[in-house]
Amino acid sequence: MSDVITNVEGSVGRIRLNRPKAIHALTKDMCTAMIAALTQWRADESVKAVMIDHAEGRGFCAGGDVRMLAESGAVDGAEARAFFHEEYRLNHLLFTYAKPIVAFMDGITMGGGVGISQPAKYRVATENTRFAMPETAIGLFPDVGGGWYLSRLPGRTGQFLALTGARMDGAECRYLGLATHYVLHDALEDLKARIIDHPERIEGALGQASNTAPEPRIADNLLQINKTFASDRLEEILSALEKDSSDWASTELATLRTKSPQACKVSLRLLAEGARMQDFADEMRQEYAVAAKVVQRPDFLEGVRAVLIDKDNAPSWNPATPDGVTDHMIDTIFAPMPEGEEWTPL
């Protein structure tokens, strides 16, 4: 059975992630299969809309093939760059797609799963949704358009999510605009059937199936998030949290101290620049240049070792402290790719 099931039902193109043992984490071949289907449907006038979900198992999509990225990064990085290039082409294709796309963020939606759900016009969260960009824990950064999406969230919640990797539930996703609708899991199959029957009435079907989401927990912390995460400098965020005597601040401070200082500084720079981007293709070009370098740096290899391979959750970051990560180091990571090696859209 293929890791991605693509077919047309009625007038709706369906993409179903089908790699349940890996919580549907994306591989390059999965990205290629999705690109092929989307490209075909784009030219097919009989296809009126697209739905993206997962076929079985828990979670929509847990991310990408991180172990492969680390193995590649430890040598020449070529396989990792090829994966990023293809994945970002998929992200950009979804972002610019003219036909309406409905993504069902039912269950775990992290990393690569964010990249294929956030470009969709309609993004459905459920009571099972667990949304996160946890990359700083493995020395990476919120890519797949994270610099664009997170920088456009209310206040400083994007910076908070990028640095801490905090998980948002379905109600919080709806509140922040990461989801456009909140639908209970048990109503999803009926909703999908209605969309297939009448793709021209997607908005009506979504509206009818939607529930009022519970009170979002993050709402209580927005003032503190906006205050303590106000700066684009990591040292100033840590200082603001240190000065805040609340339990919330001490918890977030402890969380941040487990993350890669380099990854945190890369993330802050990415969001600061992403907020000013006018074209999503420019965002993906930038993220590709950053990813191509970060994947070969010590922190990513160490983060994958600590979290996924040895599972000791005790990474030894290099540099170990924020002040060791110089502006020059970040400038080097953000330097454009050499001519002929840049990311290009389809």
Which of the residues are catalytic?
Answer: 64, 112, 135, 143
Contact 110/63 with Cβ under 8 angstroms?
yes
168-169 and 130-132 beta bridge pairing: antiparallel
User: Measured in whole angstroms, how far is the alpha carbon of residue 14 from the centre of its chain?
Assistant: 21
64: which DSSP letter?
B
According to DSSP H, which parts of the chain are helical? 28-42, 66-73, 78-95, 112-117, 146-149, 157-164, 170-176, 188-197, 202-209, 222-228, 234-243, 247-256, 261-274, 280-294, 298-304, 327-333
- Which helix (H) or strand (E) is 228 found in, with range? helix 222-228
Could you tell me which residues come within 8 angstroms of residue 245 by beta carbon, excluding any fewer than 6 positions away? none
* CA atoms of 234 and 231, how far apart (whole Å): 7
250: left (phi over 0), alpha (psi -120 to 50) or beta: alpha
344: which DSSP letter?
-
Tell me the backbone φ, ψ of residue 99, rounded to 5 degrees: -85, 150
Bridge partner residues of 50 (DSSP): 13, 101
Q: What tokens were used for 245?
A: 């005597």
* CA atoms of 332 and 270, how far apart (whole Å): 13
